[in-house]
Amino acid sequence: MKNLSFITVLLIGVLLFSCKKEQKFPQNNEITGLASPVILNFDTTLVYLNDYFSDVSKIDSINFSCNIENQFDKKLQLIRLISNPDLPFLFEMDVWIDGFPWSVICRKSNKIKYIYQFDPKGKSYQSVQMKGEMNAWNQNSSTFHLENGIWKYSFVTEPGQYQYLLVLDGKEMRDPNSNDSVDNNIGGFNSLLKIGENAEDKLPVLFTLKQSKGKIEIGSENEITEYFALWQNFTIPVQVVNQKAEINIPDAAQTLDRSFIRVWACNKYGVSNDILIPLNKGKVIISAAELNRFDMEAMIIYNVFMDRFYDGDTSNNKTLNIKEVLPKADYHGGDLKGLTEKIKNGFFEKLGINTIWISPVVENVKGAYGFWPNPETKFSAYHGYWPVSYTKVDEHFGSANDLKEMVKTAHEKNINVLLDFVAHHVHIEHPYYKKYPDRVTNLYLPDGSLNTERWDDHRLTTWFDIFLPTLDLNNPEVTNMLADSAVYWIKEFNLDGFRHDATKHIPEIFWRTLTRKLKDQVIIPQNRKLYQIGETYGTRELIGSYIGSGQLDAQFDFNIYDASIAAFAKDDFSLIKLNESLLSSFSYFGWHHLMGNISGNQDRGRFISYAGGDLKFEENAKQAGWTRKIDVGNPLAYQKMKLLMAFNMTIPGVPVIYYGDEIGMPGGNDPDNRRMMKFENLTSPENDLRNTVASLANFRRNSLPMIYGDYQTLLVNDHVLVFARTYFDKINVIVINKSNSKQEISFKLPERFGKSEFISFNKLKFNIVGDKVVININNFGFDILSN
């Protein structure tokens, strides 16, 4: 009987094997890149199918893995999704073309309806408003009504903590009825509103475990009700064995140099982190040596402010040299030949940089504009943000041939080049504005007030200054013309993408138009990858509204930046808040994303001057830069700068270094934060900081956990943050101590780490007994333990 049983089982196994069919995939690629998940709104969500599919007319039908009301409008090339409370947290939208289903992951909105109540406690107000993170700091969007002596404001938002202020009869103030507040990083405090329940500790947690012979094994923590796995943009099976998810790599992956497997899971509390696994010819990439400059997840970006970087050609040094413009606001001589020289001599290679973002080099106005009162000065267009052409290179920076030579030299060194592109406005001297003065937004609002610097309440029409007309990009003629100009720069100069200025002040139609043109004219026909990153100050929801398959790849994460400068430059800002901010970004942008994690930028005072105390958070940083010499201050600032760099280099996303931050250049705000780059005669602290940054950058570039790894917080308190980045059997543990004293830090390793042996990035001593790690970290110090 035993033999018969064995033979029966064997025959069944052979039968099953013989019946197994390899999943088939279409030869034509209808979606460019990886389809970004659809994040549903609380009520109605419009999915623009043209964002995903090259030819919407080829769509046969659209099906969903759950019961969701939807309206497919083929003529308008969109589908309307109507949310309801019973939707699962994750589901699939399958778009059928020529007999194949292309899958797009959809995620239910986490938003809830909240009613804020303000008790005036006997005081009489004619007007009550609220401005905060829940409404993009736009007080005019808050509609209060008075009911039985209580002012009420109803809005929809995600659970979490929100900074806000009340506006009572036009006067901004903290909520007098709330004791919860948070530092606003500019010398004051905002009230803090907590909405909803936190279920973070109950959500599914996924991590990569093993890979071998065409199979991937995914581990997990917490209950899981359903898995979702995609190869490229197609659903692939997931088999759960002993609480581990097993996924077979499709044979079709062997035909592609680069493809990806993505995995999600959900339970009754919400959605897990996501998994991203890169493949090379169908095999899991297990070494960073297999990556190239087109693997955008591996980018480390350096922001070159052209006029202030390096002067390689003195013949184009043409300052305005007029008394109305002080030297700080005039040209300093940096140019394209200077940048090319620095690429050739290995400056960027030694620093570990593989992507350069250059400030705008398009032709700018030659006169003096703008005004600063103390000391009185106008400004030249040294920064490049006052364009008077759509195709010409500004003579201050060189010629078109100089730009081509710089890009060619960078590519020979395996370095990408991103161009800063200005789409929001032109200068009044621009020929296009002179020819079509009606193709801009109105300078005056209906109430007669100037529509300048109205960043929130009129963000899509506001002018930055009276000499900078905002283009009416809702006009198709303007949008197409400008998008064609952007495509010209990519095609003519072989650039690798854009940093886009003032993203939130530009309507989405422009980003969709531009991205469609780039796909049709460059990405698809040339089989190229391009990277587009935007600049938006605002809520994560606002920032995220510009990111996706049909718009931008990423934006700078200013919410993380604000939290990180507070955490590392201030003694009283808890790392718990920084960790919460990081987790909040993951919930909006995913755990594997291309968001930019910046060390600073041209619109903020230099981090190191804040960290050293020579620049105060509560003062006007621009005024300070004009009226006194800003330096580093306390030399401990160099250690704090290392913490910021270590954090940016090890969290998910793309590190972005503002020129000079790698040596700790000090300064107030614009233009003091735009001093001429320092290359020679570095001090010992500057050299030490640069060496640390270079070591971190090169470590990250050679560490797959840092590029594609999972993230898990292991320990966090006010002064200590410990987190792990893991990629299959490769583990990095990052330990940060921001306190004023040396700390003995003790934390537990997850059971899945097994008995791994670690080495210290900073060659520190540590002990591991069982699953417990004990390490001593100096004040304002960090370490990375890697196996």
Pairing mode, if any, of strands 112-118 and 150-157? antiparallel
Average confidence (pLDDT) over 747-770: 95
Query: Which of 459, 476, 535 shows the shortest CA–CA distance to 510?
Result: 476
Would you say residue 277 lies in a domain?
yes
CB 159 within 8 A of CB 109: no
- 743: which strand partners? 777
DSSP string, 464-487: SBTTBPBB-TTSHHHHHHHHHHHH
| Residue 310 and residue 416 in one domain | yes
Would you say residue 778 lies in a domain?
yes
Query: Which of 594, 599, 604, 603 shows the shortest CA–CA distance to 533?
Result: 594
**pLDDT of 431:** 98
Would you say residue 510 lies in a domain?
no
| Residue 336 and residue 405 in one domain | yes
Query: Which of 156, 152, 151, 85 shows the shortest CA–CA distance to 114?
Result: 156
Domain holding 750, by residue range, is 709-786
Would you say residue 609 lies in a domain?
no
Q: Is the pLDDT of residue 703 over 90?
A: yes
Q: Is the dihedral of CA 223, 591, 295, 489 positive or negative?
A: positive
Would you say residue 69 lies in a domain?
yes
In sequence order, the 6+-apart residues with CB closer than 8 A to the CB of 207 are: 218, 219, 220, 275, 710, 712, 726, 752
Would you say residue 777 lies in a domain?
yes
| Residue 337 and residue 409 in one domain | yes
| Residue 159 and residue 230 in one domain | no
Condensed to tens digits (0 to 9), the pLDDT of residues 289-328 reads: 999 999 999 999 999 999 999 999 999 999 999 999 999 9
Q: Is the pLDDT of residue 15 over 50?
A: no
**pLDDT of 4:** 37
Q: Which of 179, 198, 217 is the last residue of a domain?
A: 198
Condensed to tens digits (0 to 9), the pLDDT of residues 246-258 reads: 999 999 999 999 9
Average confidence (pLDDT) over 95-114: 95
Report the alpha-carbon distance of residue 782 to residue 645 in Å, rounded: 10
**pLDDT of 196:** 87
| Residue 129 and residue 100 in one domain | no
Condensed to tens digits (0 to 9), the pLDDT of residues 513-547 reads: 999 999 999 999 999 999 999 999 998 999 999 99
Report the alpha-carbon distance of residue 439 to residue 436 in Å, rounded: 6
Condensed to tens digits (0 to 9), the pLDDT of residues 176-216 reads: 999 988 877 677 899 999 998 878 889 999 999 999 989 99
CB 536 within 8 A of CB 504: yes
* CATH code assigned at 386: 3.20.20.80
Average confidence (pLDDT) over 160-189: 89
**pLDDT of 750:** 96
CB 174 within 8 A of CB 183: no
CB 419 within 8 A of CB 491: no
Strands of 239-241's sheet, edge to edge? 205-212, 215-221, 244-248, 239-241
> CA 566, 708, 252 angle in degrees (round to 5)?
155
Q: Is the pLDDT of residue 700 over 90?
A: yes
| Residue 279 and residue 385 in one domain | no
**pLDDT of 335:** 98
CB 298 within 8 A of CB 708: no
* CATH code assigned at 235: 2.60.40.10
Question: Could you say which DSSP state residue 265 is in?
Answer: E
Report the alpha-carbon distance of residue 409 to residue 392 in Å, rounded: 21
| Residue 278 and residue 375 in one domain | no
Tell if the pTM clears 0.75, that is, is over it: yes
* CATH code assigned at 751: 2.60.40.1180
| Residue 44 and residue 79 in one domain | yes
Query: Percent of the chain having pLDDT more than 90?
Result: 91
Average confidence (pLDDT) over 45-61: 95
| Residue 193 and residue 208 in one domain | no
CB 297 within 8 A of CB 592: yes
- 229: which strand partners? 263
**Mean pLDDT for all residues in the chain:** 95
Would you say residue 481 lies in a domain?
no
* CATH code assigned at 72: 2.60.40
Question: Could you say which DSSP state residue 519 is in?
Answer: I
**pLDDT of 22:** 79
Pairing mode, if any, of strands 355-358 and 416-421? parallel
Structure tokens at 158: 């995600």
**pLDDT of 349:** 98
Q: Which of 394, 420, 446 is the last residue of a domain?
A: 420
Q: Which of 376, 396, 420 is the last residue of a domain?
A: 420
| Residue 189 and residue 128 in one domain | yes
Q: Is the pLDDT of residue 479 over 80?
A: yes
CB 665 within 8 A of CB 599: no
Rg (CA), the chain: 27
| Residue 186 and residue 230 in one domain | no
| Residue 272 and residue 366 in one domain | no
> CA 493, 497, 501 angle in degrees (round to 5)?
110
Q: Is the pLDDT of residue 270 over 90?
A: yes
**pLDDT of 188:** 85
| 384 pLDDT tier (thresholds 50, 70, 90) | very high
Would you say residue 615 lies in a domain?
no
**pLDDT of 21:** 66
Helix 400-412 vs helix 336-344: angle between axes, to the nearest 10 degrees? Answer: 20
User: How many CA atoms, within 13 angstroms, populate the side-chain half-sphere of residue 481?
Assistant: 15
Helix, strand, coil tally for the chain in percent (to 5): 25, 30, 45
Per the structure, how many domains does the chain have? 5
Condensed to tens digits (0 to 9), the pLDDT of residues 607-646 reads: 999 999 999 999 999 999 999 999 999 999 999 999 999 9
DSSP string, 679-719: -SS--HHHHHHHHHHHHHHHHHHT-HHHHH-EEEEEEE-SS
Condensed to tens digits (0 to 9), the pLDDT of residues 64-104 reads: 999 999 999 988 999 999 999 999 999 999 999 999 999 99
Q: Is the pLDDT of residue 6 over 50?
A: no
